[in-house]
Chain A
């Protein structure tokens, strides 16, 4: 099935520099230094900073909608706060203010004076398809482009055996349009999966492979 969404450009970051990203698409190749001023940068961990930097590479400043999906968000920080509360310590106001799922795009919107729509999603492992579905909605309303970012940070040890997580913190950002770039194609599958950002990066970096989620996703060959 042809999906009404095209990938015009994409950029990726992983905390492990040994993982291969298609040449020309690594964040470090596209950006020399973080776009975040130092007073805002301190509020985000490495993954959050990479989300903002990756978005900036694909954002032409026209106010395109930004959607950030993460299954777990900054769960390390949330767990630290809960552990602090359990031992009777007061919660850090800045940690608390950054613990909401839309905090990262909030920082981005301040740093870049972005006044377009922003949206944060968590979808129990179905983040890739949630992003594509939301983007299709925005594009159908006449938006020229949508920037969809999928990230996962460090999963703290006590949670690792309770959830699926990628090998290392990772971010993939897609610039999606209704007409330009490579079109997305979807096929039904009987073996659904819940891809992490690393699997999306791997899919975009290799040729002829499908991304298995609730559907099998392909890129139309140009």
Chain B
């Protein structure tokens, strides 16, 4: 989902370390990517996040954190 949604060219799922940071260092995503991922989570899994909430930041910390969020809160 991350690769498709963010049009990450030349990156395969194996290239994304589960523990590594998605934003800044690590994969190197930016703030627009965060908005794009928030929209994708809503469309694909029915998960609505509050952009202002501090916990949203922790959900986006790594692939593992994002996976845990989807498993805990997916509606479909």
Binding site for B on A (CB under 8 A): 38-39, 41-42, 90, 92-94, 97
A sample of 14 cross-chain residue pairs with beta-carbon separation below 8 angstroms, ordered by A number, consists of A38-B9, A38-B10, A42-B6, A42-B7, A90-B42, A90-B43, A92-B36, A93-B32, A93-B35, A93-B36, A94-B32, A94-B33, A94-B35, A94-B36
Give the tally of cross-chain contacts (CB within 8 A).
25
Asked if B75 CB lies within 8 Å of chain A CBs, one says no
- B48 CB to closest chain A CB (Å) equals 12
Contacts of A94 in B (CB 8 A): 6, 32-33, 35-36
Name, among A38, A42, A92, A94, the residue most crowded by chain B CB atoms within 10 Å (CB to CB): A94
Asked if B70 CB lies within 8 Å of chain A CBs, one says no
Asked if B8 CB lies within 8 Å of chain A CBs, one says yes
> In terms of DSSP, what is the predominant structure of the interface of chain A?
helix
Asked if B39 CB lies within 8 Å of chain A CBs, one says yes
Name, among A38, A90, A93, the residue most crowded by chain B CB atoms within 10 Å (CB to CB): A93
- B12 CB to closest chain A CB (Å) equals 13
Name the interface size band of chain B.
10 to 19
| A41 with B9: CB separation less than 8 A | yes
Q: State which of A38, A39, A92, A97 has its C-beta within 8 Å of the C-beta of B39.
A: A92
Nearest B residue to A93, CB-CB: B35
| B32 with A42: CB separation less than 8 A | no
Nearest B residue to A92, CB-CB: B36
| A97 with B32: CB separation less than 8 A | yes
Given contacts A39-B29, A90-B39, 4 further A-B contacts (CB under 8 A): A38-B10, A41-B9, A42-B8, A90-B43
Complex CA distance for A97 and B6, rounded to whole angstroms? 13
Nearest B residue to A39, CB-CB: B28
